Amino acid sequence: MKAVRDFNHSKFATEEHIIIEGIIKDIFQGAVPDVDKPIPDYGNLKEAIHQSFETCKIDYSRNLKIKALQFYEIQRSKHGCMFVGEPQSGKSTLIYLL
């Protein structure tokens, strides 16, 4: 179930994730999503990201920290990724931070 979710979520827009989750629930009818979804163990990654904010002299941003953790998850499940977004949305800052 996690593999299906990880493989498909990156291919669709955010508003389409509801449809994908519905399909996953139909396929895995006996599974309870909240129980079957493992809690990720980031080890000391959260602390390292916070230290990186201080080292790089970047103002702490909860959204940027969440994006860094999402990027970590993508790296674990994909061979590569591409940063796409509006100008001044933090793409280069995220790369610099990590």
Predicted pLDDT of residue 55: 92
Predicted pLDDT of residue 34: 53
Are the beta carbons of 77 and 6 closer than 8 angstroms? Answer: yes
pTM, to two decimals: 0.59
Are the beta carbons of 58 and 90 closer than 8 angstroms? Answer: no
Neighbours of 21 (CB within 10 A): 14
Predicted pLDDT of residue 5: 73
User: Mean pLDDT for each 10-residue chunk of the chain (98 residues)?
Assistant: 71 71 79 58 87 90 86 76 86 85
**Which amino acid does the sequence have at 59?**
D
CA–CA separation, 74 vs 66, rounded Å?
Answer: 12
